[in-house]
Structure 1
Amino acid sequence: MKIWLRHFIKHRDTALLALALLFLLGAILRPSIPFKHNIYAYFLVADISQSMNAEDMMLHGKKVTRMAYMQNMMHEVVASLPCGTKVSIGMFAGNSVAAMYAPIEVCRNFAAIQDTIAHLDWRMAWSGNSRVRESLFVTAKVVRAMPEPAQVLYFTDGEEAPKLHAFNTKNLDEFQGGDDWLFVGIGTDEGVAIPKLSQDNQVIGYWSNESFAMQPGIAQISESTLGVRDDNVAFGDHDRYVSKLASEYLENLTKEIGAKFIKGDSTYTVLKAMKEQKPARRDIAPLPLDWLLASLAGLCILATYASHHPWRQIKQNLHLYRREIQSRFFVKSEAVAHDNHFQ
């Protein structure tokens, strides 16, 4: 061992360069080792029902719709996720939830994900109703159909239209899913009217109170006769339906399925709640070692430029610098004194 050490010290530069070459060749092969770690994947469900057009949110000092506020929050959430995280975007309307695509890696597909969020619109809805409770079963099916598990983030104001009563409230006792889901409440407790918009996004009126009532004459409750929202429009303030964030309803709903509800007051609040969620799964993935080998090669190359006696070399350099400064200072002082004497 001592012989090898003496040989290395004698031919240090050659040995270091040889090691650097070996490390670089190893890095080119891109080796990896199996490593068990957490896999984070999220299914972001956006409520695109017409109650999300209500203007009761503040963004950058201006009053905006719940939809615009939700989109901005989703943009910021996606932008804050670390590389390796997977994201899918879904839409909720009626009693259904549809996924735009399976979870995809956030950094490689950042522009596509942000573009999907930017183009969310109430006109994409396939139903005028808003049945959050009914949609939970569909959401669970969509998540189970994905190629890998994903945690659900549900952005909604919790508005049920038509309103629920004893006969049309779905029983959730046998619901499977919802464990550790996160519901983000979008809206305020103030209460505002819901504008009724044309296909050109022009306000043509406001939804009336009758719009959120069950249609008369429905005797039996089934999947096809759950009740549809009346298309009446309010003509005055007195008959407009006032929409609020259904905080208490969402709180009770999430407790029934083992989920969590938070108000979407800020992106920080949402990100903090997401960190408390369990990872979607734990799996064995390859941990690349090429960066480590390349770093070792760089250190070996740098070491060839280091002196055999670095501290001695530093002292010598400092001594030389000090002598040079002293010589320049004294030469300048003598020159000034000589000029003054001559005058």
Structure 2
Amino acid sequence: MRTASTDRRQIDPALWLLLGALGFALLAALGLATQEERRVRNLFVVVDLTRSMTARDYGKGAKVRSRLDEAKWVVTEIARKLPCGSRIGLGLFTERRSFPLIEPVEVCENFPPFADAVAALNWRMAWEGDSRVVRGLSSAQELVTRLGADLVFVTDGHEAPPLPVAGRRRAENPDRTAGVILGAGGAKLVPIPKYDESGRAIGFYSLPDIAAGARVSIATPGSTGGEYHPRNNPVGNLAATSTEHLTQVREGYLREIAAEAGLGYAPLGDLPAIEAALESHTGTNVLKAPRSLSPVFAAAALIFLIAAHGANHLFVWRRAVASPRGDRNHPRNGAFRR
């Protein structure tokens, strides 16, 4: 014979689960936390905004994108993967100078505005068309020394004007900075887009567009070259077979100057290689930070609530199966007991 106490015992599992869910929900609301140690980084990212960074050699077909677009995506991913407590800043490089836009800020609290700033980077922000990579790197090293951060320098290594015949200047190693150079672009030579004063694409640069003379740079069509001069025309006349109007990642060159500057190197599109380079060539600090337990308690409350819901349905089903309505001899089923 079924009794009221039997029914109460069958309700008990769901009831206890509901009470457990309530208890965990209250613990989640209390905002309890524990202390943990985190290895955090302090990074300052400098992105090359010179004209060759608009070359499109990432992706395929309709999804092809520029080096600058790839750089913006990678920098955002670097910030996204940093542990809370880490700091990250942003700057740009053009001509021979690196310029700070955002000094290092805590990454978790400031990720949305930082990501917005990265997304807003545009080649039109460059104040010159020249690209003197070694000098830009030296300028970036001075910046991070002042900011107390490690450097992430994103560039394709394309020098404009071309490197002088007499050779380039050596990258500086102040022995006070750490960091990595990220090489942007593919190994295949691609054309450099050309834009008019309104920013509209009007084709690609050709060899005659590479100006010579007192100031050798990517310039307007019609510029002419002259004979070699150590000061006025350090690159001399560009041969007809020159590829200075095309661009590719200068990986060998970037690895060379990275070694001179005491920095690491990784290809821009290879996130695992970038993470490994950051691990090897940037420093970490141990930060004691609170870790909230509320998500753990909230998850437990949800699990208990789902379990209580399932237990209640199971109880209803079992009661329906065991109900007298299922007995053919029950009066409601058209039969009478003797």
> Residue 282 of structure 1 corresponds to which residue in structure 2?
285
* Normalised TM-score (structure 1): 0.66
Distance in 1 between residues matched to 2:61 and 2:107, nearest whole Å: 26
Distance in 2 between residues matched to 1:32 and 1:265, nearest whole Å: 37
* Normalised TM-score (structure 2): 0.67
Cα deviations by residue, 1:267-314 (Å, 9 ceiling, x for unpaired): 4443343344443x435x55448x57x99xx9xxx9xxxxxxxxxxxx
Aligned 8 A contact 1:90 1:98 in 2: yes
> Residue 231 of structure 1 corresponds to which residue in structure 2?
219
Distance in 2 between residues matched to 1:259 and 1:334, nearest whole Å: 88
In structure 2, relative to structure 1, the CA distance for the partners of 1:134 and 1:212 (3 Å cut) is: farther
Could you tell me which amino acid in structure 2 is paired with residue 187 of structure 1? G
The one of 223, 248, 256 aligned to 2:252: 248
> Residue 312 of structure 1 corresponds to which residue in structure 2?
none
Could you tell me which amino acid in structure 1 is paired with residue 52 of structure 2? S
How many residues matched?
279
Aligned 8 A contact 1:155 1:183 in 2: yes
> Residue 165 of structure 1 corresponds to which residue in structure 2?
164
Aligned 8 A contact 2:49 2:126 in 1: yes
Q: Tell me by how many angstroms 1:132 deviates.
A: 0.9
> Residue 146 of structure 2 corresponds to which residue in structure 1?
145
Q: Tell me by how many angstroms 1:187 deviates.
A: 0.9
RMSD, matched Cα = 4.2
Distance in 1 between residues matched to 2:52 and 2:107, nearest whole Å: 29
Distance in 1 between residues matched to 2:185 and 2:222, nearest whole Å: 21
Aligned 8 A contact 1:208 1:239 in 2: no
Distance in 1 between residues matched to 2:325 and 2:219, nearest whole Å: 97
Distance in 2 between residues matched to 1:61 and 1:250, nearest whole Å: 30
Aligned 8 A contact 2:263 2:281 in 1: no
The gaps in structure 1 that reach 5 residues or longer are: 1-19, 218-226, 303-319
Cα deviations by residue, 1:221-270 (Å, 9 ceiling, x for unpaired): xxxxxx541514389x9988111111111121212222122212344443
In structure 2, relative to structure 1, the CA distance for the partners of 1:334 and 1:100 (3 Å cut) is: same
In structure 2, relative to structure 1, the CA distance for the partners of 1:263 and 1:234 (3 Å cut) is: farther
1:1-343 alignment runs, 5 A limit = 38-58=39-59, 62-146=63-147, 149-165=148-164, 167=166, 169-172=168-171, 175-179=174-178, 181-212=179-210, 215-216=212-213, 227-233=215-221, 241-279=245-283, 281-282=284-285, 285=287, 287-288=289-290, 328=323, 332=327, 335=330
Q: Tell me by how many angstroms 1:118 deviates.
A: 1.3
Aligned 8 A contact 2:158 2:249 in 1: yes
Aligned 8 A contact 1:191 1:243 in 2: yes
Superposed structure 1 runs of 4+ greater than 4 Å apart: 30-33, 210-213, 237-240, 323-331, 338-342
Distance in 2 between residues matched to 1:79 and 1:216, nearest whole Å: 46
Helix, strand or coil at the partner of 1:251: helix
Distance in 1 between residues matched to 2:60 and 2:198, nearest whole Å: 24
Aligned 8 A contact 2:57 2:185 in 1: yes
In structure 2, relative to structure 1, the CA distance for the partners of 1:267 and 1:229 (3 Å cut) is: same
Helix, strand or coil at the partner of 2:274: helix
Distance in 2 between residues matched to 1:66 and 1:176, nearest whole Å: 30
Distance in 1 between residues matched to 2:111 and 2:217, nearest whole Å: 37
Task: Report which stretch shifted further, 73-82 or 265-274.
Answer: 265-274
In structure 2, relative to structure 1, the CA distance for the partners of 1:101 and 1:208 (3 Å cut) is: same
Helix, strand or coil at the partner of 1:165: coil
In structure 2, relative to structure 1, the CA distance for the partners of 1:59 and 1:121 (3 Å cut) is: farther
Aligned 8 A contact 1:81 1:106 in 2: yes
The gaps in structure 2 that reach 5 residues or longer are: 1-22, 224-239, 302-314
Identity, % of aligned positions: 23
Aligned 8 A contact 2:34 2:290 in 1: yes
Task: Report which stretch shifted further, 76-85 or 170-179.
Answer: 170-179
